[in-house]
Amino acid sequence: MHSQFRPCIDLHNGQVKQIVGGTLHDTDAGQLHTNFVSAEPAAYYARLYREHQLQGGHVIMLGPGNQQAAAEALAAYPDGLQVGGGITVDNACEWIGRGASKVI
């Protein structure tokens, strides 16, 4: 059995980041630790995933300030990425309309 790569774009304060598990807190931003903070925007990675035909990926909005970056990523890879984080029954259809393949 082989593994399948599932691309992911984690957004925090509008930036693509890899956050160390358990360090993201709503009340204490000083505890946040990252393994990686990208100089490239989310749409860059979405285009890269589209060009390489990577399927099943997702964009996750970790807290506020990520909606614009998420929308740009979805526009760069329409129907190619799921979106999650802050999704509600009231805004789910909006995110599908912005290009999300699914809302999670």
87-96 pLDDT tens trace: 999 999 999 9
User: Which pLDDT belongs to residue 5?
Assistant: 82
- Nearest of 76, 80, 103 to residue 92 by alpha carbon: 103
In this prediction the pTM is 0.89
* First CA to last CA distance, the chain: 27
Q: What is the pLDDT of residues 47-89, one digit of tens each?
A: 999 999 999 999 999 989 999 999 999 999 999 999 999 999 9
pLDDT score at 42: 98
Position 99 pLDDT exceeds 90: yes
SS3 state of residue 23: coil
Measured CA to CA, the distance from residue 45 to residue 75 in angstroms comes to 12
H/E stretch holding 56: none
